Amino acid sequence: MEYQEAFLRTPLGITAIKGHAHGLVSISVLNTSAVEPTAAIPDDLRPAVEQLREYFAGKRSAFDLPLDFKGTDFQRRVWLALLDIPFGKTCSYLELAKKLGDVKAIRAVAAANGQNPFWIVVPCHRVIGSDGSLIGYAGGLWRKKWLLEHESPYKQQALFP
Protein backbone atom coordinates (compact mmCIF):
# COMPACT_ATOMS: atom_id res chain seq x y z
CA MET A 1 0.00 0.00 0.00
CA GLU A 2 1.38 3.35 -1.01
CA TYR A 3 1.68 6.02 1.66
CA GLN A 4 1.01 9.70 1.21
CA GLU A 5 2.81 12.35 3.22
CA ALA A 6 2.17 15.95 4.14
CA PHE A 7 4.07 18.49 6.20
CA LEU A 8 2.30 21.09 8.33
CA ARG A 9 3.81 24.08 10.14
CA THR A 10 2.64 24.21 13.78
CA PRO A 11 3.63 26.34 16.79
CA LEU A 12 5.83 23.41 17.87
CA GLY A 13 7.59 22.81 14.57
CA ILE A 14 6.96 21.00 11.31
CA THR A 15 4.59 18.07 11.67
CA ALA A 16 4.89 15.09 9.33
CA ILE A 17 1.64 13.24 8.58
CA LYS A 18 1.77 9.89 6.81
CA GLY A 19 -1.14 7.71 5.77
CA HIS A 20 -3.15 5.96 3.10
CA ALA A 21 -6.79 5.47 2.14
CA HIS A 22 -7.40 3.19 5.17
CA GLY A 23 -5.97 5.49 7.82
CA LEU A 24 -3.03 7.38 9.19
CA VAL A 25 0.14 5.49 10.02
CA SER A 26 2.04 8.27 11.78
CA ILE A 27 1.98 11.86 12.91
CA SER A 28 5.27 13.20 14.23
CA VAL A 29 6.99 16.47 14.94
CA LEU A 30 10.31 17.03 13.20
CA ASN A 31 13.35 18.49 14.89
CA THR A 32 14.24 20.50 11.82
CA SER A 33 12.86 23.55 10.09
CA ALA A 34 14.47 22.59 6.77
CA VAL A 35 11.28 20.91 5.53
CA GLU A 36 8.73 23.13 3.80
CA PRO A 37 4.99 22.73 4.52
CA THR A 38 3.07 20.84 1.84
CA ALA A 39 1.16 23.15 -0.49
CA ALA A 40 -1.20 20.54 -1.98
CA ILE A 41 -2.44 18.26 0.81
CA PRO A 42 -3.36 14.73 -0.40
CA ASP A 43 -7.09 14.01 -0.01
CA ASP A 44 -6.56 11.17 2.49
CA LEU A 45 -4.56 13.47 4.78
CA ARG A 46 -6.81 16.55 4.64
CA PRO A 47 -8.90 15.62 7.71
CA ALA A 48 -5.73 15.23 9.81
CA VAL A 49 -4.34 18.57 8.63
CA GLU A 50 -7.67 20.33 9.28
CA GLN A 51 -8.10 18.79 12.72
CA LEU A 52 -4.53 19.60 13.76
CA ARG A 53 -5.00 23.21 12.62
CA GLU A 54 -8.20 23.39 14.67
CA TYR A 55 -6.42 21.91 17.70
CA PHE A 56 -3.62 24.47 17.55
CA ALA A 57 -6.17 27.28 17.04
CA GLY A 58 -7.88 26.19 20.28
CA LYS A 59 -11.03 25.05 18.46
CA ARG A 60 -10.67 21.27 18.87
CA SER A 61 -10.23 19.11 21.96
CA ALA A 62 -10.71 15.65 20.42
CA PHE A 63 -9.72 14.02 17.16
CA ASP A 64 -11.80 11.85 14.88
CA LEU A 65 -9.30 10.24 12.53
CA PRO A 66 -8.79 6.68 11.25
CA LEU A 67 -5.58 5.40 12.86
CA ASP A 68 -3.72 2.39 11.49
CA PHE A 69 -1.84 1.24 14.61
CA LYS A 70 1.32 -0.75 13.91
CA GLY A 71 2.89 -2.24 17.02
CA THR A 72 2.79 -5.08 19.48
CA ASP A 73 -0.44 -6.02 21.24
CA PHE A 74 0.90 -4.40 24.43
CA GLN A 75 1.84 -1.18 22.64
CA ARG A 76 -1.62 -0.98 21.06
CA ARG A 77 -3.23 -1.50 24.51
CA VAL A 78 -1.17 1.39 25.90
CA TRP A 79 -1.94 3.65 22.95
CA LEU A 80 -5.66 2.91 23.18
CA ALA A 81 -5.55 3.64 26.93
CA LEU A 82 -3.97 7.04 26.15
CA LEU A 83 -7.07 7.91 24.15
CA ASP A 84 -9.08 7.69 27.38
CA ILE A 85 -7.15 10.53 29.07
CA PRO A 86 -9.47 13.54 28.78
CA PHE A 87 -8.42 16.81 27.18
CA GLY A 88 -6.97 19.12 29.83
CA LYS A 89 -6.22 16.24 32.23
CA THR A 90 -3.15 14.17 33.00
CA CYS A 91 -2.38 10.79 34.49
CA SER A 92 0.84 9.22 35.72
CA TYR A 93 2.73 6.32 34.20
CA LEU A 94 1.87 4.38 37.36
CA GLU A 95 -1.86 5.11 37.00
CA LEU A 96 -1.70 3.99 33.38
CA ALA A 97 0.07 0.74 34.35
CA LYS A 98 -2.59 0.10 37.01
CA LYS A 99 -5.34 0.76 34.48
CA LEU A 100 -3.76 -1.84 32.21
CA GLY A 101 -3.77 -4.32 35.09
CA ASP A 102 -0.09 -4.58 36.02
CA VAL A 103 1.53 -2.06 38.32
CA LYS A 104 4.91 -3.72 37.62
CA ALA A 105 4.60 -2.84 33.92
CA ILE A 106 5.34 0.84 34.54
CA ARG A 107 8.60 0.80 32.54
CA ALA A 108 6.97 -1.10 29.67
CA VAL A 109 4.11 1.42 29.70
CA ALA A 110 6.61 4.28 29.58
CA ALA A 111 8.49 2.62 26.70
CA ALA A 112 5.27 2.06 24.72
CA ASN A 113 4.22 5.63 25.43
CA GLY A 114 7.53 6.80 23.96
CA GLN A 115 6.88 4.78 20.79
CA ASN A 116 3.45 6.34 20.18
CA PRO A 117 3.23 6.92 16.41
CA PHE A 118 0.47 9.55 16.60
CA TRP A 119 1.82 12.76 18.13
CA ILE A 120 -0.92 14.81 19.86
CA VAL A 121 -3.79 12.72 18.39
CA VAL A 122 -2.94 9.85 20.78
CA PRO A 123 -2.14 12.11 23.76
CA CYS A 124 1.04 10.66 25.24
CA HIS A 125 1.91 14.21 26.36
CA ARG A 126 -0.79 13.86 29.05
CA VAL A 127 1.22 11.24 30.94
CA ILE A 128 3.39 12.67 33.71
CA GLY A 129 5.46 11.45 36.64
CA SER A 130 3.73 10.30 39.84
CA ASP A 131 5.01 13.46 41.54
CA GLY A 132 3.47 15.67 38.84
CA SER A 133 6.75 16.28 37.05
CA LEU A 134 7.09 16.52 33.28
CA ILE A 135 9.18 13.50 32.39
CA GLY A 136 9.69 11.25 29.43
CA TYR A 137 8.61 13.01 26.26
CA ALA A 138 10.20 12.05 22.95
CA GLY A 139 9.25 15.39 21.37
CA GLY A 140 11.12 17.34 24.05
CA LEU A 141 9.88 18.49 27.44
CA TRP A 142 9.38 22.05 26.19
CA ARG A 143 6.78 20.72 23.73
CA LYS A 144 5.09 18.64 26.43
CA LYS A 145 4.87 21.74 28.64
CA TRP A 146 3.44 23.79 25.76
CA LEU A 147 0.81 21.13 24.95
CA LEU A 148 -0.31 20.77 28.57
CA GLU A 149 -0.56 24.55 28.96
CA HIS A 150 -2.45 24.76 25.64
CA GLU A 151 -4.96 22.20 26.91
CA SER A 152 -5.23 23.57 30.44
CA PRO A 153 -8.63 24.93 31.44
CA TYR A 154 -6.77 27.37 33.70
CA LYS A 155 -5.27 30.12 31.59
CA GLN A 156 -2.89 32.42 33.37
CA GLN A 157 -1.52 35.71 32.21
CA ALA A 158 2.23 35.92 31.90
CA LEU A 159 3.76 37.38 35.03
CA PHE A 160 6.54 39.02 33.05
CA PRO A 161 6.38 40.69 29.62
| pLDDT value of residue 157 | 56
Tell whether 34 and 80 lie within a shared domain.
no
**Beta strands 23-29; 91-92: pairing state:** unpaired
Tally of domains within the chain:
2
Asked if residue 131 is part of any domain, the answer here is: yes
Asked if residue 161 is part of any domain, the answer here is: no
Asked if residue 67 is part of any domain, the answer here is: no
Residue 124 is a catalytic residue: yes
| pLDDT value of residue 132 | 87
Asked if residue 157 is part of any domain, the answer here is: no
Asked if residue 158 is part of any domain, the answer here is: no
Give me the catalytic one of 48, 124, 128, 147.
124
Question: What pTM, to 2 d.p., does this model score?
Answer: 0.90
Using one digit for the tens of pLDDT, what is the confidence trace for 41-87?
Answer: 999 999 999 999 999 999 999 999 999 999 999 999 999 999 999 99
Asked if residue 68 is part of any domain, the answer here is: no
Tell whether 143 and 84 lie within a shared domain.
yes
Tell whether 51 and 88 lie within a shared domain.
no
Range of the domain at 141: 73-151
Q: How many Å apart are CA 120 and CA 106, to the nearest integer?
A: 21
Residue 13 pLDDT grade (very low, low, confident, very high; cuts 50, 70, 90): very high
Which residues neighbour 147 within 8 Å (Cβ) at sequence distance 6 or greater? Answer: 12, 120, 125
Using one digit for the tens of pLDDT, what is the confidence trace for 102-161?
Answer: 999 999 999 999 999 999 999 999 999 989 888 878 888 999 999 999 998 876 655 445
- Domain CATH for 84: 1.10.10.10
Tell whether 32 and 78 lie within a shared domain.
no
> Measuring CA to CA, which residue among 46, 64, 60 is closest to residue 8?
46
